[in-house]
Amino acid sequence: MFDNDEWLNQHREDVVDPDREIVDPHHHLWPRSHPVIVYDLEDLWRDTVDGHKVTQTIFMECGSSYRTEGPEHLKPVGESEFIAEAARKSAADPAKATIAALVAHTDLRLPLETLDEVLDAHIEAADGLFRGIRHSGPYDPAGASFRIPPRAPAGLYRDADFQRGVAHLGSRGFTYDTWNYHHQILDFRDLAAAVPDTTMILDHFGTPLGVGPYEGKREEGFEKWKDDIAAVAAQKNVFAKLGGLAMPDNGFGWHDREMPPSSDEFVAAQAKYYHHAIACFGAERCMLESNFPVDRLSISFRTLWNGLKKITADYSEYEKTALFSGTARKVYSVDPPAAGA
């Protein structure tokens, strides 16, 4: 699925600001044994060493390497076991990016006793890397036609059991990540207001859609999205991951072209989303993400981060440090690499 090197390598750029440290707070991994999708540590390293100074990464759950036996509610713990092993391998080569934390999955609607059993199992399996849960909420009646079909039921954020589970994460000091669609941002705002003691992370700008019934409505949708992002930013327990707009369902169409986009084209198409989100949240509540390898369908790692550096070129050094590394380390409790490592 992600073996598109030949296509991506048609466009190569010099690296912008190569000494800028990056903590990539959002990537996925799938093992070599996966029947459909493969993107393991070696593949991640192939991207992260391609010119930019990526020192640490944070794994985000993706349904990878679940246990095939045992109780159903404990099957997602297999993903934490898989990532903990990859993290140990990454730590053995300090010249490359180290997986410094992970966000796992469970069904947050579980009874609290069962939920605690799963959380404790993730903690044990993750070998010190477990930081929180992503139980995402994307729902759209047209979702069956999307490249990445949504799997959440309608109204998940309003479910009382779900809200209880998200609140329980906060009571135990864990984070809650989600991705949803642009028309669900205000529902997420309401969820955040209901659980003010839980640190919430909105992934991918709330995923502004540009396919299916949303095709050709980007500017109209952008105006509503701006208002909704400002509304959710008013919830001080919410942080924003800025990236993930190169997924096919965002509708930019780069994955279907003969040539991949340049960083300048990326900036021209998407900079306005970044500037607005940063203005609303402040750099100290925003973190730049790759969403790799999913965004790799449309743009190379080198080109993506070049674009992100160009978008933020006029921001202060304080803001750049927060956006590229500081906020991610703060939210996910990640210490910088040891000096000389």
Mean of per-residue pLDDT scores for the chain = 96
- Letter for the amino acid at 214? Y
167 located within any domain: yes
In angstroms, the CA 80 to CA 159 distance is 26
In a domain, 34, yes or no: yes
Residue 323 lies in a domain: yes
Domain residues for the domain of 250 are: 5-331
Task: Say which amino acid occupies 165.
Answer: G
User: Is 338 inside a domain boundary?
Assistant: no
Report pLDDT digits (tens) over 51-66: 999 999 999 999 999 9
- CATH code, domain with 21: 3.20.20.140
Is 340 inside any structural domain? no
- Binning pLDDT at 50, 70 and 90, where does residue 34 land? confident
Q: Using CA atoms, how far apart are residues 276 and 322, in angstroms rounded to an integer?
A: 16
C-alpha to C-alpha distance for 169 and 195, rounded to whole angstroms: 10
- CA 248 from chain centre, in angstroms, equals 15
DSSP code for 46: H
Cα–Cα distance measured from residue 218 to residue 201, given in angstroms and rounded to the nearest whole number:
24
* pLDDT digit string, tens, across residues 211-261: 999 999 998 999 999 999 999 999 999 999 999 999 999 999 999 999 999
- Please write the tens of the pLDDT for every residue from 305-336: 999 999 999 999 999 999 999 999 999 999 99
Long-range Cβ pairs for the range 195-198 (8 Å, 24+): 195/163, 195/166, 195/167, 195/170, 195/237, 196/235, 196/236, 196/237, 197/167, 197/170, 197/171, 197/237, 198/166, 198/167, 198/169, 198/170, 198/237
Whether residue 339 is contained in a domain is answered as: no
Would 106 be classed as within a structural domain? Answer: yes
How far CA 264 is from CA of 26, 61, 204, 260, 299, in Å, comes to 23, 31, 20, 12, 12
Does residue 76 form part of some domain?
yes
Confidence of residue 37 (pLDDT cuts 50, 70, 90): confident
Contact 232, 272 (CB under 8 A): no
% the chain with pLDDT above 90:
94
| Contact residues for 339 (Cβ-Cβ < 8 A; gap 6+) | none
**CA–CA distance from 165 to each of 76, 80, 158, 198 (Å)?**
16, 19, 12, 10
In angstroms, how far is CA 146 from the centroid of its own chain?
Answer: 19
pLDDT at 268: 98
Task: Give the number of domains in the chain.
Answer: 1
- Condensed to tens digits (0 to 9), the pLDDT of residues 136-157 reads 999 999 999 999 999 999 999 9
- The CA-to-CA distance between both ends of the chain, in Å, stands at 34
